[in-house]
């Protein structure tokens, strides 16, 4: 039993390493994956500043308890990053194997399919975490924002909880892309609809 | 006459491909407006209404809702052109039809012009759908007398832009995989032109935006629709766009020709 678990863990790690190798083979694209989120985030921040005339909004304070539009938007965008990870990186994983011509080999390997899915999830989480750290550092250097020390650990706990749900979503999308083929449309439609929600105060 | 027949054949072929995936037409007709919704809700959450005094100081109008809607609608032409024209020859590579197209007795530029015409028709259909949704569901106010000046400005924007897209199509022949490049161009447009926010809010974006024709077109379209300005008062912008058109179109055709010949000389046309 313990031997089997070790084998599964090795397979999960191998899947993660394989994805890193593939991504690092296209260095320009890898660098772009770090800069991309910043470029999509900046218009939201500059738009907010243009509307409010600064970075503090009394109306936002009433709705969300914090008046700082910059911190509010950046935090929302971090969650959107994880959402996109589930929809694009995980959701597209099986379709990509199909393009490479390796899906049959992966499915015929002597490990359950959830091991493959967990390998993809591990890689996606690590890659997305790297993107988030890079994003936070750059945004801190540009705008400067503060976080309460006591809030960091609970926030990470909440993100971890959210990730489990997102892994489920990612696997569902992955299965859908196998059925419908034009998978990008499913990911794009779902991410467009879902991204309207998390960045906003709910009142 | 033969040239027109080729263009017509290209239009028919592409229309058949689109009609195979009708969901795509619905998607592109509606989703660019869905992408705008976060900006609208964000604005409401920040200022508590649909107008902003600070926004008015920067743009002349406090109606940020109409501002972002117009940005989304007009930029549809740009992004559809970037993918539909700029990436079109790359798609022929995927389909395995590029070599047939290149060795046919028609000049590739003629085929590319056909692709450009068809992309324009496609984008116009999407823009019309988005405009109807924006007017009837989201309350964008457009007078009938404003349509003609807006069409003129958009045409002036597109002539130059399609020149750039044609050059880009030549570039795809040479470098093959251009997804990253297209995304980079998308960044430049999103960040440095007033598609989603007034670039005047930051000195860096303000200066860089002056180099992008889309900036002038968006400023002019918004001036006509939101500030009710007469097109004659926008003479300077029209002149600038016309000059940019001439430069971009001539440079685009020249570059495409050069890059296509260079790829043939290198013998890499059939490579992926």
Going residue by residue through chain A, which has 203 residues, state the pLDDT in tens, using 9 for 90 and above.
677 889 899 999 998 999 999 889 888 888 888 888 888 889 999 999 999 998 999 999 999 888 999 999 998 888 888 888 877 777 777 777 877 788 888 888 888 888 888 888 889 889 999 999 999 999 999 888 777 778 888 888 888 888 888 888 888 888 887 777 666 777 777 777 777 665 554 44
Place of tokens 């990008």: A184
Strand partners, A56: A68
| Percentage of residues in chain B having pLDDT higher than 70 | 100
Of B23, B46, B187, the CB nearest to A48: B46
Q: How far apart are CA B9 and CA B7, in angstroms?
A: 5
pLDDT at A202: 46
Q: How far apart are CA A133 and CA A112, in angstroms?
A: 32
Of B265, B262, B268, B272, whose CA–CA distance to B170 is shortest? B262
Q: Is the pLDDT of residue B19 over 60?
A: yes
Sign of torsion, CA A72 A77 A83 A85?
negative
Q: How far apart are CA B216 and CA B194, in angstroms?
A: 9
Q: Cβ separation of A40 and B190 shorter than 8 Å? A: yes
pLDDT at A1: 66
How large is the ipTM?
Answer: 0.82
A75 touches chain B (CB under 8 A): no
Q: How close A123 gets to chain B, by Cα (Å)?
A: 21
Contact residues, chain B, for A32 at CB < 8 Å: 180, 183-184
pLDDT at A134: 92
Q: Cβ separation of B38 and A29 shorter than 8 Å? A: no
Place of tokens 């597109």: B158
Cβ contact B91:B83 at 8 Å: no
Q: Is the pLDDT of residue B262 over 80?
A: yes
pLDDT band at B56; cut points 50, 70, 90: very high
Contact residues, chain A, for B43 at CB < 8 Å: 47, 51
Q: Which of A22, A38, A47 to mutate to test the interface with B (most CBs of B within 10 A)?
A: A47
What DSSP character marks residue B270? T
Of B38, B53, B179, the CB nearest to A196: B38
- Tell me how many residue pairs between chain A and chain B have CB atoms under 8 A apart: 104
Q: How close A75 gets to chain B, by Cα (Å)?
A: 14
A182 touches chain B (CB under 8 A): yes
pLDDT at B55: 93
What is the rounded average pLDDT for all residues in chain B? 88
Of A35, A46, A182, the CB nearest to B21: A182
Report CA-CA distances (Å) from B144 to B141, B147, B152, B260: 10, 5, 14, 44
Contact residues, chain A, for B197 at CB < 8 Å: 43, 46-47, 50
Contact residues, chain B, for A28 at CB < 8 Å: 180
Instruction: Look up residue A89 and give its two tokens.
Output: 């990186």
Q: Is the pLDDT of residue B266 over 50?
A: yes
Cβ contact B72:B189 at 8 Å: no
| Percentage of residues in chain A having pLDDT higher than 90 | 20
């Amino acid at each position: 039993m313990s031997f089997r678990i070790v084998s599964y863990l090795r397979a999960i790690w191998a899947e993660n390493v394989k994805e890193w190798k593939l991504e690092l083979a296209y260095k320009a694209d890898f660098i772009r994956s770090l800069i991309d989120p910043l470029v999509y985030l900046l218009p939201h921040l500059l738009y907010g500043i243009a509307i409010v005339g600064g970075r503090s909004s009394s109306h936002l304070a009433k709705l969300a308890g914090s008046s700082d539009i910059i911190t509010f938007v950046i935090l929302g965008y971090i969650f959107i990053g994880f959402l996109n990870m589930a929809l694009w990186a995980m959701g597209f994983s099986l379709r990509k194997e199909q393009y490479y011509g390796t899906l049959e080999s992966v499915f015929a390997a002597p490990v359950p399919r959830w091991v493959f899915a967990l390998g993809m999830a591990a890689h996606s989480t690590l890659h997305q975490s790297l993107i988030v750290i890079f994003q936070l550092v750059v945004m801190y250097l540009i705008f400067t924002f503060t976080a309460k020390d006591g809030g960091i650990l609970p926030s990470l706990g909440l993100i971890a909880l959210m990730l489990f749900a997102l892994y489920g979503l990612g696997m569902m999308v992955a299965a859908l892309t196998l059925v419908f083929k034009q998978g990008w449309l499913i990911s794009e439609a779902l991410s467009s609809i879902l991204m309207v929600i998390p960045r906003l105060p709910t009142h | 006459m033969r040239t027109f027949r080729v263009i017509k054949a290209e239009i028919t072929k592409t229309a058949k491909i689109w009609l195979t995936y009708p969901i795509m037409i619905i998607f592109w007709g509606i989703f660019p407006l869905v992408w705008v919704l976060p900006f609208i809700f964000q604005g409401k959450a920040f200022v508590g209404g649909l107008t902003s005094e600070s926004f008015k100081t920067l743009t002349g109008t406090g109606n940020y809702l109409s501002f972002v809607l117009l940005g989304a609608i007009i930029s549809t032409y740009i992004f559809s052109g970037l993918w539909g024209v700029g990436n079109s020859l790359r798609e022929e590579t995927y389909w395995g039809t590029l070599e047939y197209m290149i060795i046919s007795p028609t000049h590739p530029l003629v085929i590319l012009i056909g692709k450009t015409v068809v992309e324009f028709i496609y984008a116009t259909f999407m823009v019309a759908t988005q405009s109807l949704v924006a007017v009837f569901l989201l309350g964008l106010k457009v007078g009938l007398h404003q349509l003609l000046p807006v069409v003129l400005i958009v045409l002036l924007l597109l002539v130059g832009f399609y020149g750039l897209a044609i050059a880009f199509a030549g570039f795809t022949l040479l470098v093959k995989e251009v997804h990253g490049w297209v995304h980079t161009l998308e960044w430049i447009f999103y960040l440095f032109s007033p598609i989603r926010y007034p670039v005047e809010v930051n000195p860096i974006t303000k200066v860089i935006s002056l180099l992008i024709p889309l900036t002038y077109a968006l400023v002019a379209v918004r001036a006509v629709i939101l500030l009710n300005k007469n097109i004659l008062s926008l003479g300077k912008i029209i002149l600038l766009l016309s000059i940019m058109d001439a430069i971009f179109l001539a440079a685009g055709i020249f570059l495409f020709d050069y890059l296509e010949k260079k790829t043939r000389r290198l013998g890499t046309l059939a490579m992926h």
